[in-house]
Structure 1
Amino acid sequence: MARRRFLALSTLCLVAAGLSGATAQGLFGAPPANNPAGTAPGDSGAPANPPTPAPPADSAPAAPIQPGSPTAVVRPFYNQVNLEVDPSQRGHFIDPAKTVLDKSDALRKSGQGECLDPNMALDNADYDKDEIDKSLKTIEAINGDQAKVVVAFVVAGNPHRLEWKLKKVGGDWKITDLLSVTGEWALSQYQCE
C-alpha cells in the first residue's frame, strides 16, 4: 500500500514538473521491480520475511472525479467520439486550441474539407468504447491556474497517451491544448486555413 502511494505521488510530481514525451509514456506502465524486503544487495539467501505480494495496480479502485476538476472537463471527450470538434462544446476551449477549432469549423462550412484528424481525443485510434472504458486511466496535476490531465488507454493492443493542458478562467477550467505523447502531434500546431 505504501509503495502504491509512493508511486502515485511520484507520478503526480513528474506530471506537475511538466515532463512529457518519452517520460510521460512511462507514467502508466508497470512499476519497476524492487529488491525483496529483507534482502541486502549481494545477499544470495532468501529474505527472512518474504513480502506479501501487492495486488496489481489495475485492481486499485479509481478515485472519484471531482465535479469542476480538470479531469471532469476532459472525461466527456472519452464518452462520445468526435466531441472535441463539436461546435456546441467550444465553451470548454480557449486559445490556442479554440482558434484552431474555429478555423476548422470555417473550413468545413466552406466546403473545402476537413483540417483536423478524426478522433483526436482518441489519438486517431479506432473507437471501441468497451476497450477504452476498460483501459482508460487519467491523472491530473494542478499548478495554480494551470493544469494537465494525462490520459492513457489501449486500443487494439496499442497503448496511447495524451496530455490535455488547461487554464482556469473565471473559476472554470478551460482546455488550451491537446497533445499526443504517442503520436507526437499537438492541436495547437494544426494550420486550418
Structure 2
Amino acid sequence: MVRRRRFLSLLLVGIVTAGSGGGACAEGLLGAKAPTAPTASAGAAPTASNLATAVAPDSPTAQVRPFYADGADLASADHERFVDPAKTVLEKNEALKKSGQGDCLDQNMPLDQVPYDKAVLEKTFKSLEAINGDDARVVVAFVEGSEPHRLEWKLKKVEGAWKITDLLSVTGEWALSQYQCE
C-alpha cells in the first residue's frame, strides 16, 4: 500500500506540473506546485475542470462526470462504461445481490463513501484529466463535511471509446479492483 501511495503521489505531482498552463490550473485541486517535482510522461497536457465546465462528450472526464453531476452510484451506472478489472467486480457484485446474499460494494464509492450533497459538491468539486495514448486518468477532489476527498479514475480507450478500468480512493486507500465479491 505504501508503494501505491508513493506512486499515486508522484503521478499526481507529475500531472500538476505537466503542460505549460495545466499546472497553474490544477494547483487548487492538488496543492501548490512542488519546485523539484518530476514531470508527467509524454502525453496531452492535463486539463482541469469543475462541475460547471463543459467537457467533450468523448473525453475520459465525460465517463466520470455523471457520478458527480447526477449523483449516479455504481448500482445505477451503465456497466458498459466499464472494462476489466472494474467490470468483473461490478458483475460479481450484481450476481451476489441477485443471489440474495447482499451487496459487497458501497454504491457510493464515487463519492468516497460519504453522503451526496449536490450543493456542497458543486462548490468544492475539481477534476484533472490526463491522457497518455490509450490510457487516461481523471483525478477528482471535493470537500464534504470539512474533509477533503481525492479519487482517481483509470480509463482505457477500447474500440475508440473511453472505458473505466478502476476507481481508487487516494484518501480512503481502497481500489474497486481489489474488492472480492464472491
Partner of 1:103: 92
Runs of 5+ consecutive residues of structure 1 not aligned to the other structure: 1-7, 15-25, 35-59
- 1:50-129 correspondence to structure 2 within 5 Å: 64-86=54-76, 89-129=78-118
Match of 1:178 among 161, 167, 171: 167
Deviation at 1:135, TM superposition (A): 0.6
Equivalent residues, number? 148
Amino acid at match of 2:122: D
Asked if 2 retains the 8 angstrom alpha-carbon contact of 1:161 and 1:180, the reply is: yes
Deviation at 1:118, TM superposition (A): 3.4
Query: Residue 12 and residue 70 in structure 1: after superposition, are their counterparts in 2 closer, same or farther (change >3 A)?
Result: farther
Amino acid at match of 2:29: F
Normalising by structure 1, what TM-score? 0.69
Aligned partners of 1:128, 1:158: CA distance in 2, in Å? 13
Aligned partners of 2:110, 2:65: CA distance in 1, in Å? 10
Aligned partners of 1:101, 1:32: CA distance in 2, in Å? 36
Asked if 2 retains the 8 angstrom alpha-carbon contact of 1:11 and 1:27, the reply is: no
Aligned partners of 1:142, 1:177: CA distance in 2, in Å? 15
Partner of 2:32: 31
Q: Any runs of at least 4 consecutive aligned residues in structure 1 with deviations exceeding 4 A, and if so which?
A: none
Normalising by structure 2, what TM-score? 0.73
Partner of 1:3: none
> Alignment RMSD, CA only?
2.7
- SS where residue 104 of structure 2 aligns? coil
Aligned partners of 2:92, 2:99: CA distance in 1, in Å? 11
Find out whether 1:150 has 2:139 as its counterpart.
yes
